[in-house]
Amino acid sequence: MVLSPVTEKFATEWEISSLLTRERYYRDTNQWQKLRECFHPDASRTSIKITWFNGNIDGFVTGSKKMAEQGSRSNHAICPVEIHVIGDKAVSESTGSIMARFRHNDIDYDCTSYARFVSRLERVDGEWRMLTLEAIYERDSIQPAFPGTSAASFHIRGGRESYKCLGWLLLQKGFSVDQDLPGTDIPESVEGFMKDHRHWLQQ
């Protein structure tokens, strides 16, 4: 059966959108093998670069599993918006958020970080697989988890404005935080980042 160009376009976008959504879900629900299968089978072709990790998919799965075992958990929301496809290559742009609950001085707080997730993808044996996972960080906040709770004063010094709260929380948990990621507090970092992805897609 030969699909019309419009039908093929929608089918491709749906397949990629589903993959992106499942990848975040598998990570949040500790389904490590399914998470790994969302990415290219050759780990050397993959790259994940976020606040606490910079490496390939195998290292990311290992690091995520260790993080979960230590009790450090987060949840992600992702909404694919733009999917650019040329042949067997694609670049996706999604809005999203990262949410983590933590306890500070016996009070529960929620840290929420808003970002745009960007990925490169490639069709492998007829199925789309992710090559990269990166984010453009926009803003974040820390709020009491329950209404009526007195807000604490957090002494958050230094760090990037676009992911200051998330960075602080990760540092408290013993993680190193990359301070050179794309973020809206440094517009040129976003422009250069997206330019590199467009160039890769058109190669």
Mean pLDDT along residues 15-35: 99
pTM recorded for the entire structure: 0.93
Task: Supply the pLDDT for residue 6.
Answer: 83
Task: Supply the pLDDT for residue 32.
Answer: 99
**Residues linked to residue 139 through DSSP beta bridges, in sequence order:** 114
How many angstroms separate the CA atoms of 23 and 17, rounded? 10
Among 5-9, 33-37, 100-104, 134-138, the minimum mean pLDDT is found in: 5-9
What's the total number of domains in the chain?
A: 1
| Segments forming the whole domain that contains residue 138 | 5-202
Candidates 64, 63, 23; CA nearest to 40 is: 23
Contact 177/52 with Cβ under 8 angstroms? yes
Q: Which helix (H) or strand (E) holds 64?
A: helix 57-69
Output the CA torsion sign for 5, 9, 15, 19.
Answer: positive
DSSP string, 117-151: EEEEEEEETTEEEE-EEEEEEEEEEEEESSTTPPP
DSSP 53: -
What is the tens place of the pLDDT at every residue in 110-156?
999 999 999 999 999 999 999 999 999 999 999 999 987 776 667 78
| CATH number of the domain to which 53 belongs | 3.10.450.50
Query: Which residues neighbour 112 within 8 Å (Cβ) at sequence distance 6 or greater?
Result: 97, 98, 99, 140, 141, 143
